[in-house]
Amino acid sequence: MAESPEIRWEYDVVEVGQTGPILTIEVTEQLIAQYATGVRNPNPEYHPAGPGDLESQIKLAMPTMIFRVAPLRRPDIAANNGFTALEKASENARQTPFSKCEVRWHAPIHAGDFITSFGHILSKEERRGNKFVTFRVEATNQNDEKVAEYDYTCVFEYAKGQNVRD
């Protein structure tokens, strides 16, 4: 069987409304503790004191854990729409650098929650010759309550003649 050709997800084929697959992640006490350790947060609220210690049970996740339990997954959005993300391309792969991010929290995330999320293309815009794509990730809990959403903007193309670091 012949392989289908790789179609790069360049700015011109990105479309507002393209979506990625839905992802559900269970928020466990262990996941909260691992995240807190990974981001070097020593707050005991996010770390168990010892096995079986009922007083040390982790109840609440750090707000920034939204990026762990509702990840952007740009390559999955590209693939879901028949494309290969630029950073995953087999030839001349390149990054689409981060430009900005804005998060809106609606409800806390607790141990025991199941967070379901998906990402989609919110907007495309050109400013001073640079081409930007903004993704939105929306996350709800097992009760279908919105817990957060965030907009994440990347530079897909720099203006011609602009110095770009390698």
Q: What is the pLDDT along the chain (166 residues), one digit of tens a residue?
A: 555 679 999 999 999 999 999 999 999 999 999 999 999 999 888 887 766 655 557 789 999 999 999 999 999 999 999 999 999 999 999 999 999 999 999 999 999 999 999 999 999 999 999 999 999 999 999 999 999 999 999 999 998 876 555 5
Residue 152 corresponds to which tokens in the numbers above?
A: 């994440």
Placement of tokens 């996350």 in the chain? 139
In a domain, 130, yes or no: yes
In a domain, 3, yes or no: no
Amino acid type, 20: G
**pLDDT value at residue 58:** 76
In a domain, 41, yes or no: no
Q: What are phi and psi of 134, to 5 degrees?
A: -110, 125
| b/e 30-41 (16+ beta carbons within 10 angstroms → b) | ebbeebbeeeee
**pLDDT value at residue 151:** 98
Task: Note if the pTM is more than 0.95.
Answer: no
In a domain, 109, yes or no: yes
DSSP 161: T
How many H helices and E strands in the chain?
Answer: 3, 5
In a domain, 126, yes or no: yes
Residue 80 corresponds to which tokens in the numbers above?
A: 């879901």
**pLDDT value at residue 44:** 85
CATH number at residue 105: 3.10.129.10
In a domain, 135, yes or no: yes
CA distances from 62 to 38, 72, 139, 148 (A): 12, 18, 15, 13
3-state SS record for 38-69: HCCCCCHHHCCCCCCCHHHCCCECCHHHHHHH
Q: What are phi and psi of 140, to 5 degrees?
A: -125, 160
The number of folded domains in the chain is: 1
> What's the domain range around 148?
11-27+59-157
